[in-house]
Chain A
């Protein structure tokens, strides 16, 4: 595989300390913290869509925010074209911000309610000096057309649009600065089903047209499967499995991925199961389990899983999983 790597995450960690009283602060114990990311590593290749999937509290949104530097990592580093992004400042930082753009989940919160669409877009264009002032109106019309909104949308306020239309405005704002990477955090999860499909189609079209690299963060497995070339499955702030979409969905190599796939309701009423896919609940991200993070819910857990945390290791071409049961889900060995 000779695809060039755009972003490399090396063992990144992010912890949010909890507020604590004076007494416990003086006691010298380590401050309690929410461990949102616990050693996440992966590579993002130019032109691909990498799906990041997991349940709430798995750290996928924190990861998205770290990728665009809305959060700084506490451990590890993120390389963008071999440059550590936390070291970027001044012009280099601004260039990075332009090239890696984020689209947000909340269609009602992510647009400034006091700015017309025209100002929202022209601000992005002028701050990053994308166009001379005289060309800005034409470019705005072009951007609106790109996301399939009527040109008269420019002179309206965000509250005059539906959720799906607002998400398109958010996409237009991101595209205004001609980025190479789009990080989409739960892009369509707040939208009605019929509208979700419109936005997903739009994203696929745009990716083809503009050769974008996309990180698609979502909790909806069906969407992630639909849109991604490769998928990373996260659990409690760690990537437990990463691989090509088809491979990962047809032969999951981590028990958690398998549980997630079994739990997601299929659109096929003839394939029903009455067995519960995964028992138990997510452990607290404040006191992480020892050993493998999933062992508390894993039906296959061994003694080793309770003490030793497994690392991502290769399973099949381009497909890695972090599980001591190296033969788990292997289609060639029918265990």
Chain B
């Protein structure tokens, strides 16, 4: 198992903000984080937290109506300021992305080989034979048996888990340095989810990639990620290594989220739930967005947005009452 690394970050996201509809809706609000080399960062949140938009904004994959500002530093360059030609080299090249619904992310009328080959053509200098050999190699790497035959098949001939493997093979075709994974296992059954997550970890080790994994499932974070960033209503509210955050959540939302998930020892007891629902983007409460649902909220929380403060390198929290939250202890 490779733990968190403290080397120079490969990806440095600074003050990322994404708005839609002429600035009316703010999906991502002043988000900053870094991803170290070979590190798996979990972006955790519920619906409307902005975790997926954040991920997509990294490679400017947001709808045309969206407006992204801030900085995404990648190998000394700001992706958000790149010209389209440069961006194309990075997207699907050094940075690849996989999605929640492999069926809609794959082209249904093209055989799998053509779709892998497309990426190889765009990002490598291999000739026809080389591409065929590489495609077979990739299929083996992601654990699809009988690669030669299956390359000729179409996406609908694959099961959900196998489709996700195909998508990973396509993403890996260009030897990416960073893999962006948007809820890659949410649509899969638990035994298949287990296979895919472990595949991603194995590939991370083998290819020394970094991974940003977006998920709503804290169990997935606990099982796969080195560090995590918790998002709520478009902002990061807490970051840290996974073991730090689980052992001692500093933000009331993180604590509530951990307590909402049943675990060994809580059988048939009341869960530490959070009242209310996550706010829709057009009705984010003033002050700390979490204050109406927070048992620790004070007047300060209703008036001002708490800044994300560093506690130690890589560990930060945005909460005025973190002392009371820490005192309340971790629910897990």
Mark A residues whose CB is within 8 Å of B: 55-56, 162-165, 192-198, 200-201, 204-205, 219, 221-223, 225-227, 229, 245-246, 249, 259-260, 262-270, 272, 274-279, 281-282
Chain B residues whose CB sits within 8 angstroms of the CB of A278 once the complex forms: 191, 194-195
Give complex CA distance A227, B267 in Å: 6
A269 contacts B220, CB within 8 Å?
no
- CB proximity of B109 to chain A, nearest CB, Å: 24
- CB proximity of B314 to chain A, nearest CB, Å: 15
Of B216, B219, B256, B275, the residue contacting A264 (CB under 8 A) is: B219
Chain A residues whose CB sits within 8 angstroms of the CB of B162 once the complex forms: 281
B259 at the A/B interface (Cβ < 8 Å)? yes
Residue tally, chain B, CB below 8 Å to A: 51
Binary A-proximity of B251-275 (CB < 8 A = 1, otherwise 0): 0000011111111101110111111
A201 contacts B273, CB within 8 Å?
yes
Give complex CA distance A274, B272 in Å: 30
Give complex CA distance A225, B190 in Å: 15
B191 contacts A193, CB within 8 Å?
no
B65 at the A/B interface (Cβ < 8 Å)? no
Give complex CA distance A279, B198 in Å: 12
- CB proximity of B35 to chain A, nearest CB, Å: 18
User: Given A194-B273, A277-B194, are A267 and B278 neighbors across the interface (CB < 8 Å)?
Assistant: no
B190 contacts A268, CB within 8 Å?
no
Of A200, A274, A277, A282, the residue contacting B201 (CB under 8 A) is: A274
Is chain A's interface secondary structure helix, strand, loop, or mixed overall?
helix
B195 contacts A276, CB within 8 Å?
yes
- CB proximity of B257 to chain A, nearest CB, Å: 6
Chain A residues whose CB sits within 8 angstroms of the CB of B258 once the complex forms: 267
Give complex CA distance A224, B33 in Å: 36
B46 at the A/B interface (Cβ < 8 Å)? yes
Task: Return the chain A residue nearest B263 by Cβ.
Answer: A267
Task: Return the chain B residue nearest A279 by Cβ.
Answer: B195
Give complex CA distance A270, B217 in Å: 17
User: Given A264-B219, A265-B219, are A193 and B267 neighbors across the interface (CB < 8 Å)?
Assistant: no
- CB proximity of A212 to chain B, nearest CB, Å: 14
B74 at the A/B interface (Cβ < 8 Å)? no
User: Given A55-B190, A259-B191, A279-B195, are A268 and B222 neighbors across the interface (CB < 8 Å)?
Assistant: yes
Of A55, A165, A201, A249, the residue contacting B191 (CB under 8 A) is: A55
Q: Which residues of B in the span 159-196 have a Cβ within 8 Å of any Cβ on A? A: 159, 161-162, 189-195
Chain A residues whose CB sits within 8 angstroms of the CB of B266 once the complex forms: 226
Give complex CA distance A270, B332 in Å: 12
B7 at the A/B interface (Cβ < 8 Å)? no
B268 contacts A226, CB within 8 Å?
yes
B6 at the A/B interface (Cβ < 8 Å)? no
A164 contacts B190, CB within 8 Å?
no
A270 contacts B243, CB within 8 Å?
yes
B103 at the A/B interface (Cβ < 8 Å)? no
B219 contacts A267, CB within 8 Å?
yes
Further 11 A-B residue pairs, CB within 8 A, beyond A225-B267, A249-B264, A281-B159: A194-B256, A201-B273, A226-B268, A263-B190, A263-B194, A264-B190, A267-B263, A274-B1, A276-B195, A281-B161, A282-B189
Give complex CA distance A282, B189 in Å: 10
A269 contacts B257, CB within 8 Å?
no
Of B47, B190, B268, B277, the residue contacting A221 (CB under 8 A) is: B190
- CB proximity of B161 to chain A, nearest CB, Å: 6
Task: Return the chain B residue nearest A195 by Cβ.
Answer: B277
- CB proximity of B294 to chain A, nearest CB, Å: 11
A277 contacts B222, CB within 8 Å?
no
Chain A residues whose CB sits within 8 angstroms of the CB of B257 once the complex forms: 193-194
A204 contacts B268, CB within 8 Å?
yes
A201 contacts B270, CB within 8 Å?
yes
What are 13 A-B pairs at a CB distance below 8 A?
Answer: A55-B190, A192-B277, A193-B46, A194-B46, A197-B260, A221-B190, A225-B262, A263-B190, A265-B220, A265-B224, A269-B243, A272-B1, A281-B161
Give complex CA distance A221, B223 in Å: 15
- CB proximity of B203 to chain A, nearest CB, Å: 12
Identify the interface centre among A246, A264, A267: most chain B CB within 10 Å of its CB. Answer: A267
The 7 nearest A-B residue pairs measured at CB: A226-B262, A265-B219, A197-B273, A263-B194, A197-B260, A55-B189, A265-B223
